[in-house]
C-alpha cells in the first residue's frame, strides 16, 4: 500500500512539474492581440528581469487576482516562471476555474531567446 501511495505521489509531482510546456503554442498565442503574458515568479525574480509586456501575478495568488486582469475565461493566457513548475501549478488552478486557453510557456530563460528571435 505504501508503494502505491508513493508512486501516486510521484506521479502527481511529475505531472505538476511537466504539465504541458508548449513554447510553440505560447509564441503563437502571444502574436494574438488579446493574449496576456503572465509571470508567476516571485516579485524579486520579476524585478531581476521579465519578458516584455508581462504582468506579474505569483502562482500562489493567481486564483485570487486573475479575474481583475482577465475576466474573459476564453482569453489566451501565457504563463511562465523559472522552470515551468510554478506555471504548471498556475495553469492547473486557472483551468480548474474554467479558463480555456491557458498555455504553460515554461522557463523564462528558455522563452526569452525565442521571443527575441521572433522580433
The CA distance from 104 to 86, in Å, is: 9
Task: Give the catalytic positions in this structure.
Answer: 81
Q: Which residues pair with 104 in a beta bridge?
A: 21, 79
Q: What is the DSSP annotation of 67-91?
A: HHH---TTS-EEEEESSSHHHHHHH
Amino acid at each position: 500500500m505504501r508503494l502505491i501511495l508513493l508512486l501516486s505521489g510521484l506521479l502527481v509531482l511529475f505531472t505538476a512539474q511537466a504539465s504541458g510546456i508548449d513554447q510553440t503554442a505560447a509564441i503563437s498565442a502571444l502574436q494574438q492581440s488579446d493574449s496576456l503574458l503572465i509571470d508567476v515568479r516571485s516579485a524579486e525574480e520579476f524585478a531581476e528581469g521579465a519578458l516584455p509586456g508581462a504582468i506579474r501575478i505569483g502562482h500562489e495568488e493567481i486564483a485570487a487576482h486573475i479575474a481583475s486582469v482577465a475576466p474573459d475565461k476564453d482569453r489566451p493566457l501565457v504563463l511562465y516562471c523559472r522552470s515551468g513548475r510554478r506555471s504548471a501549478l498556475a495553469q492547473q488552478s486557472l483551468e480548474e476555474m474554467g479558463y480555456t486557453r491557458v498555455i504553460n510557456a515554461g522557463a523564462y530563460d528558455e522563452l526569452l531567446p525565442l521571443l527575441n528571435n521572433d522580433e
